[in-house]
């Protein structure tokens, strides 16, 4: 390359000399002004000729470079390698090709390069999908599906359905599933490996920006692990132009947004979102973090504490500890030269860092962490290693002007970030292919079979790991999991590569098969491993199957073309990172689509998945007596040994298993994408199109988003599950068993992007389906048939019961879950906890469960919502099929209403405290939940509560987390508990650092101080929060799912106020600052109507002792009465409390 550049330069010089030399004899005879004029004209001609020559030579050079590539795969590798940001001069790159997008994506895209080397993707969301004409047929031509090999596929290699932790209704306390996750989604909380916060999705925000810096924890200096993550925190602590440490968070929160960041192994991503009118100013504030961050010494110790709090938060996560174990187990001490390159981030501090690695150890060694931080920043945070994604409703020209103005001043320092040199092994060979046993935090039983592969980032167009993960992780007939389930050895199997940076990077790739084992499976783990190896042998013998590859392509192409809009901040965050790896045209598709089938490349990866190259990790609490070693940072107990010789000998000649075979063609793949003709008149909200004694059908045909998707939500209102804790548990057990029974058949629908879920709610059983509408009725019929013909074997029942039991035990091990359970135990008149279920589980039999299901199906009332690309007649046919198959009698609604839970009215002017020790004796976390019971739900009360949450969240986080460093997890949440609204503040602190009493005192002080903050705001400050909330409610939905979920919430809780957002805006327009102050004083501060409940789940690592004194302690005259309870005293206390009346149905 260097020689070629010299040749080109010599050609330029030679050409210039020839042209100028030729001009001399022409100019000599000419005199005076004519000579000057001719000279000027000739000089212009020379310049034009030189320019044309340069362009021609440049084009020729590019062609030569392309021709020099020996294969298409190598070309893809060059395009996809990390830090591939285009190195050619910016003058030649002002106009870059736009990314390829879905034909149904209405957004406009533009790629630009700034003079300092930053590449920016601009996304204008001015237009929406509603511009398409109903009735048209959306079909992809055969050529667009890529007969030439340019096909599509998604790189999501882990199989199975994941729970959406962010999906919730306003009625967050309405949960009965005894082992389900918490549906109270905090407005601000922790995110592993990030400076920022996990927040409730606000998809009305369409203005967002993200920056990816091409450096991560792999580049940490060997003597200060965690430095990249610490720098991520410090960057957000103000800039020279905007010096306030919390000024950016304050500004974004004031205008409905937030900021966040995350450090990976090789990249660090920063992001923010905000309401549209304030995007320009927020963009400039955000860019200044990269132009001139302060990196003040005064912030250093505090942010090290924040990093440590994040590290401590990982003690509850087996997933995070497993990441640490990967590096510690496979990367024990090596030569220092290797450590310098790799950084050993995960092995030393789990990708996060802590006070030991960032403060104590450096201090002992005389290392100035502040200087290291500034040097690291100067070396790594250079504009030529940054990519930016910007999205808003502004035109592209406006976005370009703003982006150039904001980011052009980011300095370019040129040197490349430290990376792992090629040729150095990622793991020590002698430590990798072994048998490890690990003791987990939770009660889980798993086997992880892992293969170390070369980095496959360069094969993103082929995605061989996705193809192989899809087959090994299949759950249909003939699959590994199907056979293991029939033998009652396993309950789930996930395979492939999840895309996390510790398993997918420029140095290596990890391909893992993780099996969740039954008790029998743990005892016969070799049998499980053998089945995996037998299936892989079949794949190697048969070779890659093009028809399977093509089938996956069609599925993923359909999903890419017709998917709902992504959350804007998630969208720009993912894209700015993709820009580091893919060429411009593949920014949108590089992660999602599979472009070409390559038999040789897939076979090459497939041939590496052999028994002799596998590492095996067994995870179970039963290994505790056998594990005599501890991982350095988390203290995870483990043992290491050679894989038994009889195992390896048996793997040499594995027999072919006739029960294992390739999957059949998928009957659930959609082929008809016709948009249904809209009926007239169009309805803005769902309407009842059919009602009888058995059911009520709500319907709304989509007339806005115009995509071939539909949603079917069904609530089977029952009464029997509300009669006792035993029945509530059997409902939960029945639905878990249903998921097992339908799995083999319905899995084909799942991989065809048809989604379904069963869940238990207070109201009854809920079945939800969504996806491309063509085959959605077939999926519903399949699921209803299983409900109608429910039957399970004794072994299936016992396996599911064991699985549910472990879920219940693990639920209680999590301090925040335990705290929620205690809060609801005192607030709900009827509440059956996970602990109640555990006391029942052993005595429940299959015969009893079968009788319960029969009783459950006898009397029901179904309320359904069908919305999307379906007609009302099609919706009616679904209900008719349901009734014909289930043959149930109508449920008297009077009986149903009588059994509905009600809310306990806490005593007025009283502060109740419930204290308990954490169920997990190893957890360092103490969790405090301060809950304030406010009032029965009404539009006005609900709006005031929502506005309070918007006002209080940022000051709460800034005070308790940033300034006082009480913990990484700090957030406020609004609740609706069966029609009674309330507010809570949750704090997760480290028990060995702060006592629960001290943390509670800080919370009390914050509530007092916030009154002064709220009162001192100018009228403009206060109304900026009001206007932000109004804007959020008036923003149109960005996807069909958002509208459906809001409508379903109204139906599920029998409120039916589909125009709620409009009505709430009317209330908001009349809210005053004085009214907000009065509301805060009435419900949050001590007041005659003050009803406060504090839950303390105390770590065993704290020095604080539970107060064993009086349970009723009078404080000052103005303070509320204090009541201290233990968990076993809650039920007796509730008996003396009145119940709130049942709310009126159909409104607030």
Return the bridge partners of 517, or none: 490
Ramachandran angles phi, psi of 20, nearest 5°: -65, -40
What's the rounded Cα separation, in Å, for the pair 586 and 72? 15
Report yes or no: 691 and 698 within 8 Å, Cβ to Cβ: no
What's the first-to-final CA gap in the chain, in angstroms? 73
Catalytic: 642? Answer: no
Please say whether the beta carbons of 935 and 1099 come within 8 A: no
Give the DSSP per-residue string, 879-942. Answer: HHHHHHHH-PEEPPHHHHHHHS--BB-PPTTEEEEEEEE-S-TT--EEEEEEEEEEEE--HHHH
- For residue 1048, which of 873, 896, 863 has the smallest C-alpha distance? 863
Signed CA dihedral, 487, 488, 489, 492: sign only: positive
Q: By the 8 A CB rule, do 800 and 735 touch?
A: no
Burial class (CB in 10 A: 0-12, 13-18, 19+), 494: buried
Question: How far is Cα 85 from Cα 73, in angstroms, rounded to an integer?
Answer: 19
- Angstrom distance (rounded) from CA 313 to CA 192: 8
C-beta separation of 983 from 972 below 8 A: yes
Strand partners, 758: 767
Helix ranges (H only) for 752-788 are 776-788
Q: How many CB atoms lie within 10 A of CB 671?
A: 10
CA 648 from centre of chain: 39
HEC readout, 445-465: CEEEEEEEECCCHHHCCCCHH
Which residue among the candidates 232, 556, 1035, 1050 is catalytic per the annotation? 232
Six-digit token pair at 347? 């092995």
Q: Residue 319, SS3?
A: helix
Strand partners, 710: 771, 868
Contacts of 345 (CB under 8 A, 6+ apart): 217, 218, 220, 225, 226, 228, 265, 327, 351
Q: DSSP secondary structure string, 578-619?
A: HTTTS-GGGTTTTTT------HHHHHHHHTT--GGGEEEEEE
Please state, in angstroms and rounded to a whole number, the distance separating the CA atoms of residues 256 and 260.
14
- Residue-by-residue DSSP string for 48-116: HHHHHHHHHHHHHHHHHHHHT-SSHHHHHHHHHSTT----S-GGG-SSBPPPP--TT---EEEEEE-TT
Instruction: Tell me if 986 sits within 8 A of 928, measured CB to CB.
Output: yes
Length of the chain: 1148
For residues 285 and 221, is the Cβ–Cβ distance under 8 A? no
Contacts of 1029 (CB under 8 A, 6+ apart): 256, 946, 947, 950, 1068
Residue 652 phi, psi dihedral angles, 5° rounding: -70, -30
Contact in structure between 130 and 704 (CB atoms under 8 Å): yes
CA–CA gap between residue 638 and residue 772 (Å, rounded): 46
> Which of 478, 494, 497, 495 lies closest to 486 in space, CA to CA?
478
Q: Which residues have C-beta within 8 Å of that of residue 910, sequence separation ≥ 6? A: 1090, 1091, 1092, 1120, 1121, 1122, 1123
Tell me the catalytic residues.
232
């Amino acid at each position: 390359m260097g020689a070629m550049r010299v040749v080109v330069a010599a050609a330029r010089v030679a050409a210039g000399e020839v042209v100028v030399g030729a001009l001399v004899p022409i100019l000599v005879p000419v005199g005076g002004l004519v000579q000057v004029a001719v000279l000027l004209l000739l000089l212009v001609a020379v310049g034009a000729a030189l320019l044309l020559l340069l362009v021609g030579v440049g084009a020729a050079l590019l062609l030569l470079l392309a021709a020099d590539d020996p294969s298409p795969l190598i070309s893809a590798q060059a395009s996809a390698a990390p830090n591939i940001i285009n190195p050619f001069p910016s003058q030649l790159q002002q106009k870059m090709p736009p990314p390829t997008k879905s034909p149904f994506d209405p957004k406009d895209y533009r790629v630009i390069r700034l003079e300092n080397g930053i590449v920016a993707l601009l996304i204008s969301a001015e237009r929406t999908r509603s511009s398409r004409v109903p009735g048209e047929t959306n079909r992809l031509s055969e050529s667009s599906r890529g007969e030439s090999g340019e096909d599509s596929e998604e790189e999501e290699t882990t199989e199975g359905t994941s729970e959406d932790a962010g999906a919730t209704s306003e009625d967050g306390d309405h949960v009965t599933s005894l082992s389900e996750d918490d549906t109270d989604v905090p407005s601000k909380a922790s995110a592993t490996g990030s400076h920022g916060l996990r927040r409730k999705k606000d998809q009305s925000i369409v203005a967002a920006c993200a920056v990816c810096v091409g450096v991560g924890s792999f580049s940490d200096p060997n003597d200060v692990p965690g430095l990249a993550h610490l720098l991520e925190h410090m960057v957000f602590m103000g800039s020279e132009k905007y010096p306030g440490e919390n000024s950016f968070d304050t500004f974004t929160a004031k205008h409905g947004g937030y900021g966040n960041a995350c450090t990976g192994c090789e990249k660090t991503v920063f992001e923010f979102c905000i309401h549209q009118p304030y995007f320009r100013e927020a963009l400039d504030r955000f860019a200044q973090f990269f132009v001139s961050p302060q990196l003040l010494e005064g912030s250093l110790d505090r942010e090290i504490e924040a990093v440590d709090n994040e590290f401590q938060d990982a003690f509850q996560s087996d997933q995070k500890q497993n990441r640490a174990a990967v590096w510690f187990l496979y990367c024990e001490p090596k030569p220092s030269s290797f450590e310098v390159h790799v950084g050993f981030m995960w092995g030393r501090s789990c990708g996060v860092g802590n006070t030991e690695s960032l403060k104590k150890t450096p201090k002992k060694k005389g290392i100035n962490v502040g200087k290291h931080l500034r040097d690291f920043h100067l070396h790594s945070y250079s504009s030529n290693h940054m990519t930016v994604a910007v999205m808003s409703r502004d035109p592209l020209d406006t976005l370009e002007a703003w982006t150039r103005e904001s980011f052009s001043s980011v300095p370019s320092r040129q040197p490349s970030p430290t990376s792992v040199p090629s040729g150095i092994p990622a793991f020590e060979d002698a430590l990798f292919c072994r048998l490890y046993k690990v003791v987990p935090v939770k009660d889980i039983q798993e086997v992880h079979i892992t293969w170390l592969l070369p980095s496959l980032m360069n094969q993103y167009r082929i995605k061989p790991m996705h193809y192989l993960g899809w087959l090994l992780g299949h759950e249909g007939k003939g699959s590994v999991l199907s056979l293991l389930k029939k033998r009652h050895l396993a309950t789930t199997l996930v395979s492939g590569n999840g895309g996390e940076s510790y398993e997918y990077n420029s140095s290596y790739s990890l391909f893992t098969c993780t099996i969740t084992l039954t008790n029998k499976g743990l005892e016969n783990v070799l049998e499980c491993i053998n089945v995996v190896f037998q299936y892989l042998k079949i794949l190697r013998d048969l070779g890659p199957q093009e028809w399977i590859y093509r089938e996956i392509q069609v599925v993923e192409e359909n999903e890419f073309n017709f998917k709902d809009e992504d959350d804007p901040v998630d969208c720009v965050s993912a894209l700015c990172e993709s820009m580091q790896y893919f060429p411009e045209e593949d920014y949108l598709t590089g992660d999602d689509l599979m472009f070409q089938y390559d038999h040789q490349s897939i076979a090459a990866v497939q041939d590496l998945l052999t028994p002799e190259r596998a590492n095996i990790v067994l995870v179970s609490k039963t290994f505790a007596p056998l594990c005599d070693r501890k991982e350095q940072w988390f203290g995870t107990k483990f043992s290491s040994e050679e894989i038994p010789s009889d195992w390896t000998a048996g793997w040499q000649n594995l027999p072919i298993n006739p029960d294992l075979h390739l999957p059949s063609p998928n009957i659930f793949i959609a082929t008809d994408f016709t948009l249904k003709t809209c009926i007239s008149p169009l309805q803005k909200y769902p309407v009842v199109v059919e009602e009888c004694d058995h059911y009520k059908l709500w319907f709304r045909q989509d007339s806005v988003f115009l995509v071939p998707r539909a949603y079917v939500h069904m609530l089977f209102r029952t009464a029997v599950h509300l009669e006792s804790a035993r029945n509530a548990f059997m409902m939960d057990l029945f639905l878990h068993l249903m998921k097992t029974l339908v799995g083999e058949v319905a899995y084909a629908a799942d991989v065809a992007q048809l989604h379904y879920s069963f869940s238990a709610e207070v109201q009854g059983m809920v079945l939800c389906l969504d996806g491309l509408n063509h085959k959605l009725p077939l999926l519903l019929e399949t699921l209803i048939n299983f409900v109608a013909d429910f039957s399970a074997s004794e072994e299936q029942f016992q396996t599911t019961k064991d699985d549910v039991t472990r879920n219940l035990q693990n639920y209680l091990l999590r301090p925040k879950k335990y705290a929620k359970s205690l809060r609801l135990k005192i607030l709900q008149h009827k509440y059956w906890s996970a602990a109640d279920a555990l006391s029942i589980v052993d005595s429940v039999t299959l015969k009893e469960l079968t009788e319960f299901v029969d009783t459950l199906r006898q009397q029901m009332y179904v309320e359904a919502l069908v919305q999307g690309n379906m007609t009302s007649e099609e919706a009616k046919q679904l209900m008719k099929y349901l009734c014909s198959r289930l043959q149930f009698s109508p449920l008297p609604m009077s009986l149903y209403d009588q059994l509905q839970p009600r809310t306990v009215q806490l005593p007025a002017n009283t502060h109740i405290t419930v204290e308990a020790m954490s169920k997990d004796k190893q957890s360092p976390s103490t969790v405090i939940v301060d809950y304030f019971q406010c009032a029965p739900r009404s539009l006005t009360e609900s709006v005031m509560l929502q506005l309070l949450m918007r006002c209080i969240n940022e000051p709460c986080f800034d005070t308790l987390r940033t300034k006082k460093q009480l913990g990484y997890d700090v957030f406020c949440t609004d609740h609706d508990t069966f029609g009674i609204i309330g507010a809570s503040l949750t704090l997760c602190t480290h028990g060995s650092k702060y006592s629960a009493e001290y943390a509670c005192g800080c919370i009390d002080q914050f509530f007092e101080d916030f009154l002064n903050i709220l009162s001192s705001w100018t009228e403009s400050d206060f109304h900026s929060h009001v206007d932000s909330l109004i804007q959020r409610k008036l923003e149109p939905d960005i996807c069909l799912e958002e509208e459906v979920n809001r409508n379903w919430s109204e139906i599920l809780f029998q409120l039916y106020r589909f125009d709620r957002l409009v009505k709430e805006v009317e209330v908001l327009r009349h809210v005053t600052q004085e009214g907000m102050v009065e509301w805060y004083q009435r419900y949050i501060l001590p007041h005659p109507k003050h009803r406060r409940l504090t839950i303390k789940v105390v770590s065993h690592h704290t020095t604080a002792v539970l107060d064993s004194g009086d349970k009723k302690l009078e404080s000052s005259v103005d303070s509320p009465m204090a009541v201290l309870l233990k968990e076993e005293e809650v039920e007796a206390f509730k008996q003396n409390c009145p119940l709130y009346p049942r709310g009126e149905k159909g409104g607030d």
